[in-house]
Amino acid sequence: MNKLLKFLAVLLLLSVATLVVAAYAVDLNAYKDDIRTEFTAATGHELVIAGDLRVALFPKPVLEIRQASVPGALDGLPALAEIDLVRLYPRWAPLLAGRLELARVRVEGLRLHLIRDGQGRANWDAGQVPPVPRGAGRTLGPWSLAGPSRSPGPFDAWAAEADPATDWPPIGQVELSDAQVTWDDRRSGQRLEFDSLEARARPVAPDRPVAWRVTGSMRTGGEGRPAAVHAEGNLRIGDGSQPIRLEPLLMRLEGFGLDRDLAADFLLRTGVDADLDTGHYLADQVALEVRIFGAALSEGRVEARVNAGLDLDLSTERLQVTELAIRSGALSASGRLLGQTLLSTPVFTGDLRVDAFDLRAWLTHQGLPLPRTADPETFRRCSLDARWHLENGRLGVSDLVLGVDETKLTGEIEQVSTSPLGSRFDLVADRLDLDAYLPPSEQTSAQPGQVSQQRAPVDESTATPAGPDTGKATAAVAPVSGQPPAVSAPMPGAANPGAKDQQPPLPSAPTPGPASAPAIAGPIGNLDLEGRLRIGELELARLRFGDTDLEIRAKDGSLEVANRVQRFCEGSLAGRLALDIRGTEPRVALVQRAEEVESGRLLADLPWGDRVSGRGEITADLAATGRSADALRRSLAGTLAIRFPHGVIKGVNLERLIREANARLSGAAAPEDLPMQTEFTDLRASAEVRNGVLSNRDLVATADHLRITGAGTLDLVQGRIDYRFEPMFVKPPQGRGIKELEGIPIPVHLTGSFDYPRWDLDLGSVLGTAAKRRLGEQGEELFQSLEERTGIKGLGQGLKSLFGR
């Protein structure tokens, strides 16, 4: 036994001595060509080893390869791979027994650049790599002592019999330190960078589970904050139909930058079966947890869980995602995905269905702010059903069915892109109450359906003759809620004269100030839109638009909307709206023509709007600049014109008003045979708008024995009116008490707010003029007779002057 032990000890010492001598006597760099040849035969790529090959035996045997690189398949680009240092640590005991087992492999300073150029060529694509025959060229170089032209070494028998798929030398642990991986697709502009990667896998051997872990950081586009990457799992390499199994696979991505103020955490759990020879990968139970957060979400977050099955076949360049299910609070979605020609020109198609859910409740659950809308019950029922496709970075949606509350939107969207942001679309909506989705007005009284409750109830008032101090007769009328006034004037609905300074707030034109909400929010300079939107029933600004057809175009900082409305206030409307932001201030231009519109419908939003009716046409050519509603109003300029061949003003009859005033003066009974309305014909007016103030000087209309002219201003900034009418009786019939007023202008002054105007009728001057006219007809002979009897020359003329003739 002692002799046997001594023999083994001597054999061990001789073996170690032999290895020591080999380590320092053999020129390892002579094997570089063999290593390069083997690498090229296996991968099709050239291997460049700029550094030296070194070996050391103590304290642990190690082989070092320094400064190696793989140039890649494309010239003029960074190398496919660069490595600062590779260390191979073989095990002593197997080495002495003639077997190669690596205790550890450590790679330091790996820089891997995966680049696709503008023509779609990849730097890792070396063409068809010829298969390596079993055992051919599998020399072990430095582990054989024979040199480049060596005789068979101690490990060549294993090399000749090894199966390259499964019989590589077992490795105790593989380490990757300070690695960088870059994906740069210059055709699509996508860039992905992994930095400071640390990886470890142990043990690495055929048909044995391998525990692995990777940490580092990831950045997209070469900008923004890097995200932390952590991945780990177990890898089993064997044989059979799926020789590689990853289970479990856990991947965590923390702080992934979606935008400047938006980031996300991802947690992926799954198992993967992989066949590297056929390029087939199967993950039938994928679970992905997503958490999105950041300043853009106002301290809120979006959490979701995604489950699906994945089937990837690189041989056919095909990806299938089945049984896709998305859950996020009350939101539930399902769908599928199919990807084809993945390695050349990827094309993805699929469908997505979002079940009806309460968006407001979902936002509350996620801690996100609710949308500020005039109607707080909007977005209570939302759903989506669509087919989609993605090709060359552009998304298209077909068979779209989007439901939002009472609105159903259908159609298709094509060529959706993010740089620039744009699309081509053809959409149809059955109905849309846009007022309900606009931001709430600063005046709570402006809620739809509450106009009648906002009108200030005032006492009925009638025209009265001039008193000794006023010198005029006045009339002021405001409607009582739900009841027409007993006496009215050309613009009914004014406030009580005694309450001139106590008028209610003006919901249609709030007082301008710094709190004005922006009318143009955010730039549209990068928009590239072109499409058509048709809406069956549209409600906007409390007006109804039926069968609306919009053609929308946006490009290079300008937006233009051409509209055709078949049903608008019982008529039609056509024109265009243009927005241009290429200057220092956004500019809005509006050109519209309304034909056969009913004025009562158009003015229905005003408290007195239901008192006016008539069909006619309105044309407008307006422009404004500014970033807020207030700035737009203050800069508004252009022209307006109206023409109404026929119409009625309800609650107003100027003849009845004058006859009632005459009756009060004479003590007679007021007339009751005249209707409380005035019919007019051929109403025409044009106006110029400057700095938000509309000026008109040529209003003219005819009514029953009346000719009406008018001039004045409407201040759109302050929401106030200052307008003067001058009705004049023309050839009135005899016996109706107005014949003596023929040819006398009747001053009517309209002032106040748009909602509650106040009007004054100067009946005193009118009746005074009529009285002087009667005195003139009967007193001419009297003046002449007095002059003759008194012998005072000029007495008649003096008396005429005294009486105002």
pLDDT band at 128 (very low <50, low <70, confident <90, very high): very low
pLDDT band at 447 (very low <50, low <70, confident <90, very high): very low
pLDDT band at 675 (very low <50, low <70, confident <90, very high): confident
A 10 A CB-CB count for 264 gives 19
What's the pLDDT at 129?
45
Structural contact between residues 353 and 384, judged by C-beta atoms closer than 8 angstroms: yes
Cβ-proximal residues to 407 (8 Å cutoff; 6+ apart), any chain: 429, 430, 431, 432, 433
What's the pLDDT at 157?
44
Residue with the bigger pLDDT between 126 and 117: it is: 117
What's the pLDDT at 623?
95
Q: Which amino acid is at 320?
A: Q
Closest CA to 356 of 333, 386, 383: 383
**80-89, 130-139, 487-496, 671-680: which range is least confident on average?**
487-496
pLDDT of 503 higher than 60: no
- CA 185 to the chain's CA centroid: 27
- E strand map for 434-542: 528-540
Q: How many CA atoms lie within 13 A of 72 on its CB side?
A: 20
Return the CA Rg of the chain.
45
pLDDT band at 525 (very low <50, low <70, confident <90, very high): low
pLDDT of 159 higher than 60: no
Q: Which residues pair with 510 in a beta bridge?
A: none
For 30-47, what is each residue's pLDDT tens digit?
777 877 887 787 778 888
Closest CA to 160 of 126, 122, 133: 133
pLDDT band at 574 (very low <50, low <70, confident <90, very high): very high
**354-368, 452-466, 631-645: which range is least confident on average?**
452-466
Closest CA to 166 of 128, 131, 208, 132: 208
pLDDT of 587 higher than 80: yes
pLDDT of 665 higher than 50: yes
Q: What are phi and psi of 558, to 5 degrees?
A: -130, 145
- CA 300 to the chain's CA centroid: 19
Find the helix or strand (DSSP H, E) in which 359 lies: helix 359-366
Average pLDDT of the residues in 526-541: 90
Average pLDDT of the residues in 58-73: 84
Structural contact between residues 551 and 532, judged by C-beta atoms closer than 8 angstroms: yes
Average pLDDT of the residues in 728-743: 74
What's the pLDDT at 138?
41
Closest CA to 644 of 685, 616, 611: 616
For 390-428, what is each residue's pLDDT tens digit?
988 788 999 999 999 999 999 999 887 776 778 899 999
Q: What are phi and psi of 78, to 5 degrees?
A: -55, 155
Structural contact between residues 784 and 794, judged by C-beta atoms closer than 8 angstroms: no
Rounded percentage of the chain residues whose pLDDT exceeds 90: 33
What's the pLDDT at 216?
93
Cβ-proximal residues to 474 (8 Å cutoff; 6+ apart), any chain: 463, 464, 497, 760, 761, 762, 763
Structural contact between residues 251 and 267, judged by C-beta atoms closer than 8 angstroms: yes
**193-197, 346-350, 456-460, 672-676: which range is least confident on average?**
456-460
Q: How far apart are CA 523 and CA 508, in angstroms?
A: 27
Write down the mean pLDDT value for the chain: 76
For 232-253, what is each residue's pLDDT tens digit?
988 887 655 556 788 788 888 8
What's the pLDDT at 674?
75
Q: How far apart are CA 563 and CA 581, in angstroms?
A: 21
Structural contact between residues 503 and 456, judged by C-beta atoms closer than 8 angstroms: yes
What's the pLDDT at 487?
36
What's the pLDDT at 363?
92
Closest CA to 508 of 437, 448, 458, 568: 448
Take residue 310 and report the two structure tokens written for it: 């994945």
pLDDT of 224 higher than 90: no
Average pLDDT of the residues in 210-236: 85
What's the pLDDT at 703?
82
Average pLDDT of the residues in 437-444: 69
DSSP per residue, 248-269: EEEEEEEEEEEETTEEEEEEEE
Instruction: Provide the 8-state DSSP code for 204.
Output: B
Q: How far apart are CA 499 and CA 405, in angstroms?
A: 43
Average pLDDT of the residues in 581-602: 89
Q: Where are the alpha helices (DSSP H) in 48-185?
A: 92-96, 156-161
pLDDT of 23 higher than 80: no
**380-394, 541-555, 607-621: which range is least confident on average?**
607-621
Q: Where are the alpha helices (DSSP H) in 56-206?
A: 92-96, 156-161
For 247-282, what is each residue's pLDDT tens digit?
788 888 888 777 777 888 889 999 888 887 788 889
Closest CA to 534 of 446, 367, 407: 407
Q: How far apart are CA 608 and CA 755, in angstroms?
A: 8
